Chains A and B, each alone.
Chain A
Amino acid sequence: MNMRSNHGLTATLIALSLTVAGCAEVQRASEDIARQSGNPRLAGAIHGVGNVVGSLFPIGYEEESSIGQAMALQVVARYGGVVDQPELVRYVNLVGRAVANTSDRPDIPYRVAILEHESINAFAAPAGYIFVTRGLLKQVRNEAELAAVLGHEIAHVSQKHILDVIQRSKRLAGVTEAGLSYATSNPAAFKTVIDGAVKKLLDEGLDQDKETEADTIGEVFATRVGYDADAYVNLLTRLRDLKGDDRALFKTHPNFSARIEAVQKTIQSKHLVATGVLLPERFARMAKRI
């Protein structure tokens, strides 16, 4: 065995063992040793090992943020742009922040945009990009109902439901590389990943158990702030009356009766309180602008 391969073997062993142990600095040092010993292929292999091991771990916020922004672009494009009414936008963002600040994931920025669309819909993209349509806002009667709708979307973000979709979309696009570097090295693959995730979010819908989970956790988030626990049930019941159970509010969600039942069970099991805090007047002042 010559000197060069000795260096290589040492570097590989150090990289493998310490990468697994979480010492990324040592992994990078091993890459340098391999490179300095005249073996760029080995350096590349060590880097690859780091990537593969790293890919076994959850997506970090930086990556999530980039993906969320790209998905937001597509949501806005497909839904005809956003409402440009500063006071109304500020109001929905205040309600969103009020709920998000005591959610299970309060340490990221949340922003709410109103989509210029008459359909009754709401979405959440990764990293706190939340959307409600003008059509949905027209169905809401008070601030507590709006808080519950936003609570549902914040729950999707806090539970990282959409990141599961991204992982699946990456696999379908054939992206084996971990992290976001492929977004610049292979932009076509990045587009495929984003388009796949957007299709799932807007057209096919998340798994129904995730929708139910978002309903129940979102209900908890809204009531933590003090909003009336019955508000969400009232909204869902009214939408069921409007749309019926055959055709759910969002074609991507479970039917209304199942959703109402799940929320009512949560209210009972978690002893959530009908506080009477609905704030219809504050909402009505803003609703004039919808």
Chain B
Amino acid sequence: MISPRVLRVVLIVLWIGLLVWSGEGRAETVYVQAKTAQLRAGKTSLDAVVGNVKFGDALEVVGRDGSWVEVKTSAGAKGWIFANKTSSSKPSGTNDTLAKLGQSMRGNDASATTASAGARGLDKASEGYANRAGVSARDRDAVDRMTAYQIPDQEVEEFLREGGLGEYAK
């Protein structure tokens, strides 16, 4: 029969071991909180790009230094990412799980009435609305052009670089 004193010591040792194990074994994770982001070889925007990640990707934190976080991707690639492009909580995204589930249950009734971003032409629902509301051809064309308006990501990146914004801050 184990004495209560020995049992207490064993429990304390086990508890301490569990604390040490959980602290070492649970790496910090951050998520990409930007449409896209680049992993760089060093912690400046001048360092070479070594990889690309996208919104919602989980990254294991290896280290931190100022405005930069050193991370490892699930594929094992390592690099530095600008800290403002990460979040400690997982972003829900455009259609969170509940919205997707709801749409799935309703069936894809919206598909017949919507157009994908970037495609020209008002969708069927808006076209019907424009007819009923008497929206002019000029205003329809304005919204049509607005819907289709796109700027490539590289041009946005160049705009940030020119302005010394984001990871290009001086």
Binding site for B on A (CB under 8 A): 19, 22, 24, 27-28, 47, 50-51, 53-63, 65-67, 69-70, 72-74, 76-77, 81-82, 89-90, 93-94, 97-98, 100-102, 104-109, 111, 113, 129, 143, 178-181, 183-184, 187-188, 190-191, 194-195, 224-227, 275, 277, 279, 282
23 A-B residue pairs with Cβ-Cβ distance under 8 Å, sorted by A, are A19-B105, A24-B104, A50-B105, A50-B107, A55-B106, A70-B125, A73-B139, A74-B133, A77-B133, A94-B155, A101-B156, A102-B34, A102-B85, A129-B146, A181-B112, A183-B113, A184-B112, A187-B129, A187-B132, A194-B129, A225-B166, A226-B164, A282-B163
B95 to A66, Cβ gap below 8 A? no
A66 to B113, Cβ gap below 8 A? yes
B138 to A81, Cβ gap below 8 A? yes
With an 8 A cutoff between CB atoms, is B114 at the interface?
yes
A65 to B98, Cβ gap below 8 A? no
Given contacts A63-B114, A72-B146, A97-B156, 14 further A-B contacts (CB under 8 A): A57-B103, A58-B99, A59-B99, A62-B108, A69-B123, A73-B140, A77-B139, A81-B138, A98-B159, A98-B160, A107-B93, A179-B107, A180-B110, A227-B165
Give the interface SS of chain A, mostly helix, strand, loop or mixed.
helix
The distance in angstroms between the C-alpha atoms of A168 and B163, with both chains bound, is: 42
- Pick from A76, A178, A225: contact of B142, CB below 8 A: A76
With an 8 A cutoff between CB atoms, is B91 at the interface?
yes
- For B168, the closest partner residue in chain A by CB is A226
What 3 pairs between A and B have smallest CB-CB spacing?
Answer: A57-B102, A54-B105, A54-B106
B98 to A57, Cβ gap below 8 A? yes
Considering only residues 100-127 of chain B, those with a C-beta below 8 Å from chain A are: 100-114, 117-118, 122-126
With an 8 A cutoff between CB atoms, is B19 at the interface?
no
A277 to B128, Cβ gap below 8 A? no
A50-B106, A73-B126, A102-B34 as given contacts; A94 in contact with B112, CB under 8 Å:
no
A22-B101, A109-B150 as given contacts; A183 in contact with B94, CB under 8 Å:
no
B166 to A70, Cβ gap below 8 A? no
